């Protein structure tokens, strides 16, 4: 039985700018290599770049902008963490794995603080990484950030601990470390990391980091990756404001905001016209660098929403390898579950990502055809659905080892979610519960699965609510 192992509660703080005591300039040398230089005391990075450019014709040096990891403080009291996956219908999307194209695995480059390469849920998913800062293959994660990000993308579905959003799809992770010992990140190192990912044949790049201000080297690297067909995903930023953070705000980059497991946008999630979609990023469970069998349960911030979207992108590339970066972005926008204001808004972008709808879109299958083709055998008994004017009564039969879950959602006439409730059978006794439909509800959806395995049969029922007078 797949169990969520809760062993570590991690509290994050945002890296302050004081971590970046030294300033740098960066440039592409005449031999094509990206280089950086420490700015002498008593002069600004911009002034030093101008002096360097005047002395070296043909070189365009610029201040090496600061980037930092997009984690936020979190409260360890909330334990229902991986339920957030159900908001984006991730487990239902795993049923479509038989439709992925046979061939090379999809490679997701995770540009971050490194990774615990010996973790039980990651070791079989990892390719040999690269440390840009020290020009080595040592990607040890000293900040317990990259390890969690890697786990959210593709922790193995192996009955151990957590599972990544990519589930049972054929995905490999390429960890690329860019964080210096001080905790600082240089935009030039990010650019180098992107170029390394391109050279290694990455299909998707995730960057759960960012900073204010465009950087020419970084922007050029992002554009090069997108032109090569690589999907670039990045955290929108953690701020109760509207600032533009980069690389997320570059054109054609998928900028990801953070919501909770109920789909409510986080106050600390940046809102602006570059946000593409949102994804769960509050109190998320994932792999930890504290031990090879350790897990954290309170990861929060756009840092942890971004890899969830990257994992969905990996599933799309596995199902349809010829998709361009722009096409993947368009699919996410078209199939997202609308939230906030009707249509696109600066909080959610086009809504929170919907893994199942995105896969159905690229597979060109109707939902009925996909479920019929991919329904997996499960020993769970049928659930009994009884409609009345007050709502829907769900009866969970007595079971021995399999514990059913039910998510109950109601939608209005514009297909916008009104409320969402969970029923989970923890014991073996039969359970009966009546879910009340909201007054304005027009449609009720029920998502049913079990904790036996993430690949268990998933069934969806829609019931038109014909009377709400007594709701």
Single out the catalytic residue among 188, 255, 288, 303.
Answer: 303
Single out the catalytic residue among 112, 141, 203, 338.
Answer: 112
Catalytic-residue membership of 457: no
DSSP secondary structure, 21-50, as one string: -S-EEEEE-TTS-EEEEEPPTTS-HHHHHH
Single out the catalytic residue among 89, 99, 145, 453.
Answer: 145
Contact 187, 142 (CB under 8 A): no
Residue whose tokens read 């180098």: 192
Q: Which two tokens stand for residue 88?
A: 């984006």
Instruction: Tell me the C-alpha distance between 430 and 363, whole Å.
Output: 38
Sequence-separated (6 or more) residues with CB below 8 Å from residue 248: 207, 210, 234, 235, 236, 237, 255, 256, 274
Instruction: Tell me the C-alpha distance between 75 and 306, whole Å.
Output: 20
Q: Which two tokens stand for residue 375?
A: 């329904």
Total Cβ atoms within 10 A of residue 214: 14
Instruction: Tell me the C-alpha distance between 6 and 458, whole Å.
Output: 25
Q: Which two tokens stand for residue 254?
A: 């998928």
Q: Which two tokens stand for residue 159?
A: 């009955």
Instruction: Tell me the C-alpha distance between 217 and 33, whole Å.
Output: 11
Cis peptide before 276 (omega within 30 of 0): no
Total Cβ atoms within 10 A of residue 199: 9
Catalytic-residue membership of 124: no
Catalytic-residue membership of 249: no
Between the CA of residue 339 and those of 267, 314, 347, 393, 415, what are the distances in Å?
15, 24, 9, 27, 10
Instruction: Tell me the C-alpha distance between 256 and 278, whole Å.
Output: 5
Q: Which two tokens stand for residue 9?
A: 């509660």
Total Cβ atoms within 10 A of residue 22: 13
Between the CA of residue 310 and those of 77, 208, 257, what are the distances in Å?
27, 10, 13
- Could you give the 3-state DSSP secondary structure of residue 234? strand
Known catalytic residues are: 112, 145, 303
């Amino acid at each position: 039985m797949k169990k969520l192992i809760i062993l570590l509660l991690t509290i994050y703080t945002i890296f302050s700018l004081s971590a970046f005591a030294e300033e740098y300039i960066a440039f592409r040398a005449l031999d094509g290599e990206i280089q950086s230089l420490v700015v002498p005391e008593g002069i600004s990075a911009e002034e030093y770049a101008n002096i360097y450019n005047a002395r070296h014709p043909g070189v365009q040096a610029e201040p090496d902008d600061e980037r930092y990891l997009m984690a936020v403080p979190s409260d360890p009291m909330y334990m229902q963490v991986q339920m957030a996956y159900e908001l984006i219908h991730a487990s239902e999307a795993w049923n479509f794995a038989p439709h992925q194209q046979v061939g090379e695995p999809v490679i997701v480059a995770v540009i971050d603080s490194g990774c615990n390469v010996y973790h039980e849920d990651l070791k079989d998913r990892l390719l040999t990484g690269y440390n840009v800062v020290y020009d080595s293959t040592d990607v040890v994660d000293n900040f317990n950030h990259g390890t969690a990000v890697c786990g959210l993308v593709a922790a193995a579905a192996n009955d151990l601990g957590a599972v990544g959003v990519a589930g049972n799809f054929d995905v490999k992770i390429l960890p690329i470390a860019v964080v210096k010992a001080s905790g600082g990140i240089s935009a030039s190192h990010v650019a180098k990391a992107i170029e390394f990912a391109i050279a290694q044949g990455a299909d998707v790049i995730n960057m759960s980091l960012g900073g204010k201000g465009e950087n020419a080297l970084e922007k050029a690297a992002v554009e090069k990756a997108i032109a090569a067909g690589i999907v670039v995903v990045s955290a929108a930023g953690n701020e109760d404001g509207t600032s533009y953070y980069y690389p997320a705000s570059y054109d054609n980059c998928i900028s990801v905001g953070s919501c909770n497991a109920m789909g409510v946008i986080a106050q600390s999630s940046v809102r602006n016209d570059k946000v593409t979609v949102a994804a769960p990023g509050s109190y998320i469970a994932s792999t930890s660098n504290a031990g090879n069998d350790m897990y954290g349960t309170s990861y929060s911030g756009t840092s942890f929403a971004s890899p969830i979207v990257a994992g969905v992108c990996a599933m799309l590339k596995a199902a349809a390898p010829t998709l361009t970066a722009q096409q993947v972005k368009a699919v996410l926008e078209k199939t997202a579950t609308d939230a906030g204001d009707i249509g696109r808004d600066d909080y959610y972008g086009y809504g929170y990502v919907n893994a199942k709808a995105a896969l159905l879109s690229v597979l060109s299958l109707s939902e009925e055809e996909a479920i019929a083709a991919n329904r997996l055998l499960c020993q769970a008994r049928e659930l009994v659905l009884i409609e009345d004017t007050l709502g829907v009564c769900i009866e969970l039969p007595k079971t021995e080892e399999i514990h059913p879950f039910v998510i109950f959602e109601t939608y209005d006439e514009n297909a916008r979610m009104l409320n969402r409730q969970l029923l989970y059978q923890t014991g073996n006794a039969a359970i009966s519960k009546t879910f009340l439909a909201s007054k304005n509800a027009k449609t009720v959806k029920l998502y049913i699965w079990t904790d036996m395995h993430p690949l268990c049969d998933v069934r969806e029922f829609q019931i038109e609510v014909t009377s709400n007078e007594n709701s």
